[in-house]
Chains A and B, each alone.
Chain A
């Protein structure tokens, strides 16, 4: 068929210890949006990296418009017409929009850069995507959404035949997503083939024509978007029945249990102000609010990551003064940070060492955990959390995001904490791992531990939490009952609609 632009047949690639792709086929037609789906570690990014020349496949053929290709680098792939727009916008914020679009291939006129043409063509390109903006302004003057459009404009202008959008919507709001979809439709009408990678299933159905599902490096199937239901799709991605996630049982609300931690009026001027909260033994306290509303700062204060400037914290009856996270750990606290890469994993160390790290930190380096015990500890949690790895000596940096998150969780569960603070533990991980982490949280509450659960996804907070603190504008806006409140209630508080603070507690 002539309308196939890209055909990948029998792609195979192995990394030490894992077969990352095993006999994977993929076809992309001219003028279609083709969603590539699968859990973390299913092989999506590996497939894209093979296509863009980052990895060389061990076997398999790739045909672009019928011609066999074997790109050796991303630049080579780009020249062939395969462009990628990554999740993080990787443009230069201090350059203008036009400069960003044309950097590295500026049109020249008499040995000098032809600014007139650059600006005119950049404006045309942005207009074509429905963006009527001043392209001579620096990129940083515009929102993430517009910056993303600029990187798409840049990608498309390099004679692209195939455009890869890797999680393009993760930092966009609803309106911006709609806008992006309009651009995608426009581009496909112009005959481009678009590969769309996302975790948001609703978006898959909103914009895709066909979808390909991968699991554990193998092809599960290729479907017409209209011919498969969401539940079927999820079941195919995860490989098991998804009813578990909808059957989670909330822990009973422990109104009579003693308070394990109390904070009164803690804050850091300019960052977050006057937060008071308490949490009981066995309770799951949710923290809702937009990104940047002060949730993470509050968690970091409670754990001693940043010093508390005002107010006080007490554990049981005793006041708690935190100079470093170690003080909090010694008092039975644990903290899974939001930014897994920056504050969580030690990428080059093994799974075993990463799991043992916090336990070892409380013991001090002169009292090492014997190798045998470390190994047992690691094995126990690899099994308990079903971390996908051939052995405990694999580097954590080589695991997928969901498995890295589980390793960090294991690090803290190994310290046997009374109070666990989880900051966005389910972000960027697949639905199967998400369900498992929620189940674990609830189980820990039933064992009598307390959990503070911070998340941007309201449905999962409501599903799990006994009580929910809603943050807005660097302060606590309200505290609501997790059993009775709805998403709409919380959204209203975040949006500051009904002035009714302190809703039903």
Chain B
């Protein structure tokens, strides 16, 4: 009896329908071309073996959004939003490339070298993005500025900063350790997937092993009552934005490594919307409150699966955005409360009918 109630709740949950949607999209891909789901081990020319196949590709390419969306989940659960993450991705890449190619007049050809020590190439972009997250968090948590306005500043300004850092130039690099971040693999698994796993597990542990998750939900559900109960909502909000900034930095390094370059105009373009969408599809409400990190991971995979599907079947590139929007619309309608309730009511009715017959 108790189990039936629990499974009934799960059927009504957004997470369940997100998983259903993901499986359906994969199924469509599989029906159209059976090799859509195939995975194989391939040996590269340098002797390493790597997993190949569309599913691996989806996981790999979902990394940038998944990592950012972990922080975005907390931000949204607190009733906020962060639209600066895409710009922060650009900043992260710009700083990394700046340090790899510090004095471009001297080191005017890209190659397998770095000018500054490699740890600075990694740490300084992360530090910069963390500080930008702190800026967002201070405006929102301490000065109580509306999140969308506060993060609009760096959404616009971030790409400007990226331009300034690199003097408006686009650098490229062939430095192997840096290229390894986005293109390498360990035990056959692409490194971005491993980084994503570490981030996801890290955030999950941080949120659920400490009381941070409970505090986030509490502030998101009822800020007044949380304050009266002794929570410092400003600090909690601050931490969520700092974390999101830091994660955007990681995402930016992966992106820059993949293209071996910085691109102030296009790096992380539209990531804020994809990350917000991933969170919402995953079952966290934009009004704040309860959140699900697992849901966000599924949401991010859905978005990437759609993109991959569209690319895989050669939809003309002009139509990609419209096509993606169409599938997302279907997913969101499927998840909407009236539809979810209607489906689970139908199922309940069938079940009670069957139960009645069994008794009779």
Q: Mark A343-357, 1 if CB is under 8 A from B, else 0.
A: 111111100010011
B interface residues (Cβ-Cβ under 8 A, vs A): 5, 8-9, 209-212, 214-215, 217-218, 221-222, 224-232, 236, 289-290
> Which residues of B lie under 8 Å from residue A369 when comparing CB positions?
211
Which residues of A, 313-337, contact B by the 8 Å Cβ criterion?
324-326, 329, 335, 337
Complex contacts, B209 vs chain A, CB 8 Å: 368
B227 touches A324 (CB 8 A): yes
The answer to whether B221 touches A347, judged by C-beta atoms less than 8 angstroms apart, is: yes
Residues of chain A contacted by B228 (CB below 8 angstroms) = 303, 305, 325, 335, 337, 343-344
CB distance from A397 to the nearest CB of B (A): 9
- Looking at chain B's contact residues, the main secondary structure is helix
Q: How long is the Cα–Cα vector from A309 to B209 in the complex, in angstroms?
A: 40
A353–B222 alpha-carbon span in the complex (Å): 13
CB contact under 8 A between A360 and B232, given known A16-B5, A343-B224, A345-B222: no
Q: Does A488 contact B (CB under 8 A)?
A: no
Q: Which chain A residue lies CB-closest to B214?
A: A353
> Is A362 on the interface with B (CB-CB < 8 A)?
yes
With A348-B217, A349-B221 known as contacts, the answer to whether A368 contacts B211 (CB < 8 A) is: yes
Q: Within A401-435, which residues are at the interface with B (CB < 8 Å)?
A: 411
A361 within 8 A of B: yes
Q: Which single member of A16, A17, A305, A346 contacts B226 (CB below 8 Å)?
A: A346
Interface members, chain A 336-395 (any B CB < 8 Å): 337, 342-349, 353, 356-358, 360-363, 365-366, 368-369
Residue in B closest to A329 when the chains form the complex, CB atoms:
B230
CB atoms of B210 and A347 under 8 A apart:
no
Contacts of B8 in A (CB 8 A): 16
Residues in B whose Cβ lies below 8 Å from that of A16: 5, 8-9
Known: A324-B232, A342-B224, A411-B229. A365 touches B210 (CB 8 A): yes
**Extra pairs beyond A325-B228, A349-B214, A361-B230 (10, CB < 8 Å):** A324-B227, A325-B230, A329-B230, A337-B225, A342-B225, A347-B221, A356-B214, A361-B231, A369-B211, A411-B229
Shortest CB–CB separation between residue A365 and chain B, in angstroms?
Answer: 4
Cα(A409)–Cα(B16), bound, Å: 36
> Measured between C-beta atoms, what is the minimum distance from B299 to chain A in Å?
20
Cβ contacts under 8 Å, A324 to chain B: 227, 230, 232
Complex Cα gap A414–B4 (Å): 34
Please indicate the chain B residues that have their CB under 8 angstroms from the CB of A356 in the complex: 214
- How distant is B205 from chain A, measured CB to nearest CB, in Å? 12
> Could you give 13 example pairs across A and B, Cβ below 8 Å?
A16-B9, A325-B228, A325-B229, A343-B224, A346-B222, A347-B221, A347-B222, A349-B217, A357-B229, A360-B215, A366-B210, A368-B210, A368-B211
**CA of A356 to CA of B9, assembled, Å:** 25
Partner of A17, one of B5, B227, B229: B5
Residues from chain B with a CB closer than 8 A to the CB of A357 are: 214, 218, 226, 229-231
